Each structure stands twice: as C-alpha cells, then as structure tokens.
Amino acid sequence: MMYRTMTLATALAATTALGASAETLRWARAGDSLTLDPHAQNEGPTHTLAHQIYEPLIIRDQTGAFEPALATDWAVSEDDPNVWVFNLRQGVTFHDGADFTAEDVVFSFERAKTETSAMKELLTSIVEVRAVDDYTIEIETAGPNPILPNNFTNLFMMDQGWAEANGVTAVQDIANGETTYAATNANGTGPFVLTSREPDVRTILDQNENYWGIDDFPMEITRIDYTPIQNAATRVAALLSGEVDFIQDVPVQDISRVNDADGLVVKTAPQNRTIFFGMNMGAEDIAADDVDGANPFGDVRVRQAMNMALNRDAIRQVVMRDQSAPAGVIMPPFVNGWTEALDEVPEGDMDAARALMEEAGYGDGFSVTLDCPNDRYINDEGICQAAVGMLGQIGITVNLDAKPKAQHFPLIQNAETDFYMLGWGVPTYDSEYIFNFLVHTRGEERGSWNPTGFSDPEIDAKIVSLASETDLDARNATIAEIWDTVQSEVLYLPIHHQVLNWGMTNRVGTEVSPEDDPKFKHFTMQSS
C-alpha cells in the first residue's frame, strides 16, 4: 500500500485520528532514509531505518557493545587462521515466511561486494564466503583478519529467493539515480515489518509477530509511525504539541525549551561521528573556483591556511550552543587510533594564515563553491555559513550551495564536487574504516567517498595491510603512520565531533546510542 502525498499536518492528524496507542511510537527526524536497499547507501539515517526491518549477523546494542543477531557465535577457525566460522541462528524466518539459511548469508555478502554497493569497502579482505551447512558459514580472508566481525554490524542479510523473484539481485545504483523494487520494498528478518512507505513523507512499520527475538527484547512498540520533518521549528513544535513521541535531533537552540516542558526530556551523549570539509586537491584545475589553469587546493599551504582560519570554538559557542567538541582530526575519540595529540585543534592565527596564502601565490584570494547538506548533520548549513565568513578573512570568497542530502551525497560519491562538507561515523570503532573509505586512492574496492584526488601508493599499501596484521602493536603503529600523513597533508579540515540530543516524551524509555541509531526493539513504552 502506498499513501498519496500528504502534508505533515495531514499525516500527523491522520495518526492522531487513528488513536495512537501506548504501543505506537511516533518518530521524527530531519531527514529520511535514502533507500530501503540495504546495501545501496552507507549512511546513518538509512541504516537506522534498515535496522528495524533487516538484521546483520552481529549488531551493536544501545551502548555500542556487540550483541548476537543472526549469528549466535563466531570465532577464528581452529584449523585455519584465515577463516572465521559463524554459527547462524536457527528457526528464523523472513517477513514473507521464507526460512533464513546460510545460502542467504552467502548471497548477501556477494551482493554487498559488488561495484554499486556502498558497503564493499568493509569486505575487501574477504576471499570467499562458504555455506558449510544450513546454519554454518565460513568466511575466508586474504590473511588473518583479527577485527573482521567489527565490519559486519551494518551489513544486512537479504532473502536470496525474494531478491531473485523481484529482480533485485543487483544493488541499486543510487549514486546515478537508479531506483529498484528493493529501494521501496523490503523483506527482512527484523523486529518490524514494512507496512507502507512514501519517501520523505511517511513510513509505517508494524511489529513482526513472528520475530525470533520477540521474547528476548522488550518489544513494547507495536507500530512505528516515522515522519521526516526537515524544518527544525516544525520538528520541535510536533514534539511539544504531542504529535510525535521521539525526535533524534533536537535543535541546539531548543534543548532547554524541550527539557523544561512538562512530560518531555532531552537525553544527550557524544556521538561516534566527526564533521569536516573535504577539498579536491588532486586535480590540476578545478571547476568550482575562479582561478584559471591552477588548483589552489593543490597547495598544502592553502589547506593549512584554511585549517587555521576555521574557528572551531566560535562554531561551538555560536552555531552549536556548546553542543559540539572542536576537532583536530576526522576521527572521534571512540576510535582505535585516536590520541589527544592528533585531536589538538589548530591555533587560529589569521596573520599566519594570510602569510601562507601569500606564500602560495594567493595573497589576493580566490573564490570557490562549497557544497553543503541542509538536512543531514546538526546545524550543517549553519556551520557552512560560519565557515564562509571565516575563510573570507583570509581572502577566500566562498559561495555556499546548500541542498538536501539526497542531492548532496551523489556529488561526493561521483567526485563532482571540489569543496564539500561530510560527516563520518565509525561503526567498526577502528581507523581502518576511515582509511578504506576516505584516504585510500579512489578505486573499485576502496576510496568510494574520497573525491579529494589524494593518492599515495605507500599509504594505500599500509591501509591494505591493516586487514591482515595480527600483531596489534604493529598494526597500531601503521595506523599512527597513516594518520601522520593525513594530518601533515591536511587532507581534510576537521570541524567538530557531534553531540547527540534525543528528545522524547517521558513515556519513552531508552538511552542514547553513540551510533545515533535507535533500535526500537530495545525501547520501552509506558502507558499514557
């Protein structure tokens, strides 16, 4: 069933008219999932919706700790250090009643490794996935991979038969505008079943009565009514008026207002995500500037000057209302490889920054376009607006082009932007994840979110080595070496580590997940 396009007010009124029970969670956030195809987009809100419908082998609970999902246990094979063995949960069915077996796991991994998959960087060390029997799989890697399971917490399992029957064995090519049956329909093993879906308007999920974990988790929510509300004031108004029960992104300027309201609470926690700017430094010339025959970003002195000109503390105080942690590196403190020294914020010395611009031959400045999302990160457009003024102080005229994430992200994925904002969470809690996507040379298997043009064969080799280095001290030393290059080259301009503010009625029981991915099977709901 598909709902006709309706206004937010109509959608919320319809929900109220239905008489939402204590078991219905009315959920809102700024942006919608980009697709229901579980392998087409590696993006937080997309994964969050998918987690209600689909499941991975291993999941992280609301604290970030590992929790068995479709695998009950896993270990390195006693016979071969290059092989991980996963024992699968028995008695699990997909929403259409089909049995979940090892063949579905093999299919899902092979699908997620293909070119149009946004998840392929997580699987580059895998040589083969084998079904030993219906409920056992072996994953062979190119050399021992001690942290392989960390890569699987957002890798969702699909029903091979359903995919074949509906012509979706191939992953949706979302970066090039393709749409498929899997983009708007779903058949998972998860705690909720898709009832209706109208992208950017409303999605209804109902409890899966045949869910394998129905007696293992609270499962107190029987229906999820999900309404994306991009406008911050409208989103807060919906929570204050009782039209929604839970919003993931309370605007920083409204935290006190929500917290002080009767029956509402704001819960806050650091997020496993860093916000930063990227630059196309590799091209000989770029289209987004007014410099003919040269690329200002190709000069490290320009990048250093920009890094010094960005006043992170002012952004924290004015734009974020103290709800951020200024960053010196594009890696949150949760991640293996993070150090206080790497995260030291650059000194804001405008005179030194202008001197660097002069040395680089840009004393008179230049102009450039900054691509920015306006519905993905906390105050994303506001951060970009602040950066416009700061970079203007060293002669860089920035023309801001802010647009919804559905239009913004393909610019990065297709390398069609020269200066852009991006935020990066690290679900593996390890630096290799960042390097594979953002530092490695852009290619078929790695670097899919790296349009910077940075390419260093030695660094690439070090990144690849991380997947098979079993000496953790040596591995951590390699991670440190890679970060030294990232920082010295000023590959990115870090802004801050995000802070999460979840707003909810006091009927909703949950703690804030550092991944910003509420898993509603864990929620409790008090009767109103």
Q: Is 54 exposed, middle or buried (0-12, 13-18, 19+ CB in 10 A)?
A: buried
173 and 321 part of one domain = no
For 82-130, the pLDDT digits (tens) are 999 999 999 999 999 999 999 999 999 999 999 999 999 999 999 999 9
Helix intervals (H) in 78-224: 102-112, 160-165, 181-184
User: What is the pLDDT, as a whole number, of residue 181?
Assistant: 98
265 is a domain residue: no
Instruction: Tokens for 445, please give them.
Output: 């298997």
Out of 28-32, 210-214, 346-350, least confident range: 346-350
Decide if 365 contacts 357 (C-beta within 8 A). yes
110 is a domain residue: yes
229 and 343 part of one domain = no
Residues in Cβ contact with 306 at an 8 Å cutoff, skipping those fewer than 6 apart: 277, 279, 353, 391, 394, 396, 490, 493
For 292-334, the pLDDT digits (tens) are 999 999 999 999 999 999 999 999 999 999 999 999 999 999 9
Mean pLDDT of 397-425: 97
- pLDDT at residue 7 tops 60: no
387 is a domain residue: yes
- pLDDT at residue 402 tops 60: yes
70 and 212 part of one domain = yes
Give kind and range of the element (H or E) at residue 86.
strand 83-88
Percent of the chain residues topping a pLDDT of 90: 93
Decide if 342 contacts 400 (C-beta within 8 A). no
User: What is the pLDDT, as a whole number, of residue 528?
Assistant: 65
262 is a domain residue: no
- pLDDT at residue 13 tops 50: no
144 and 76 part of one domain = yes
403 and 481 part of one domain = yes
458 and 515 part of one domain = no
108 and 144 part of one domain = yes
User: What is the pLDDT, as a whole number, of residue 62?
Assistant: 82
- pLDDT at residue 362 tops 90: yes
61 band by pLDDT with thresholds 50, 70 and 90: confident
User: Which SS3 state, helix, strand or coil, does residue 449 take?
Assistant: coil
Decide if 417 contacts 288 (C-beta within 8 A). yes
User: What is the pLDDT, as a whole number, of residue 64?
Assistant: 84
Percent of the chain residues topping a pLDDT of 70: 96
96 and 234 part of one domain = yes
User: Which SS3 state, helix, strand or coil, does residue 300 take?
Assistant: helix
258 is a domain residue: no
Mean pLDDT of 233-239: 97
Cα dist. 336→398, 432, 472 in Å? 35, 9, 11
Whole-number Å distance between alpha carbons of 495 and 507? 35
Instruction: Tokens for 51, please give them.
Output: 């987690």
392 and 495 part of one domain = yes
2 is a domain residue: no
Domain span including residue 21: 8-245+507-525
Residue bearing tokens 């003919």: 292
Report the domain count for the chain.
2
- pLDDT at residue 427 tops 70: yes
**How many CB atoms within 10 Å of residue 115?**
11
512 and 398 part of one domain = no
Residue type at 428?
Answer: T
By C-alpha distance, which of 479, 458, 456 is closest to 467?
Answer: 479
- pLDDT at residue 2 tops 50: no
What CATH number is associated with residue 354?
3.10.105.10
Beta strands in 256-354 (DSSP E): 264-279, 324-326
What CATH number is associated with residue 521?
3.40.190.10
- pLDDT at residue 141 tops 50: yes
At 486, give phi and psi (nearest 5°): -55, -45
Whole-number Å distance between alpha carbons of 254 and 429? 31
Q: What is the DSSP string of 315-381?
A: IIIIISTT-EEE-SSSS-TTSBT--TTTTPPPP--HHHHHHHHHHTT-TT-EEEEEEEESSSSTTHH
47 and 162 part of one domain = yes
- pLDDT at residue 22 tops 80: no
By C-alpha distance, which of 408, 330, 399, 410 is closest to 375?
Answer: 408
User: Which SS3 state, helix, strand or coil, does residue 497 take?
Assistant: strand
Decide if 57 contacts 74 (C-beta within 8 A). yes
Cα dist. 39→46, 121, 235 in Å? 10, 12, 29
For 448-480, the pLDDT digits (tens) are 999 999 999 999 999 999 999 999 999 999 999
Residues in Cβ contact with 130 at an 8 Å cutoff, skipping those fewer than 6 apart: 106, 137, 138, 139, 140
The rounded mean pLDDT for the chain is 94
By C-alpha distance, which of 219, 250, 221 is closest to 234?
Answer: 250
Mean pLDDT of 368-388: 97
For 156-178, the pLDDT digits (tens) are 999 999 999 999 999 999 989 99
255 is a domain residue: no
pTM confidence score: 0.91
For 243-257, the pLDDT digits (tens) are 999 999 999 999 999
Give kind and range of the element (H or E) at residue 203.
strand 202-207
Decide if 370 contacts 358 (C-beta within 8 A). no
At 37, give phi and psi (nearest 5°): -65, 115
282 and 163 part of one domain = no
User: What is the pLDDT, as a whole number, of residue 63?
Assistant: 84
143 is a domain residue: yes
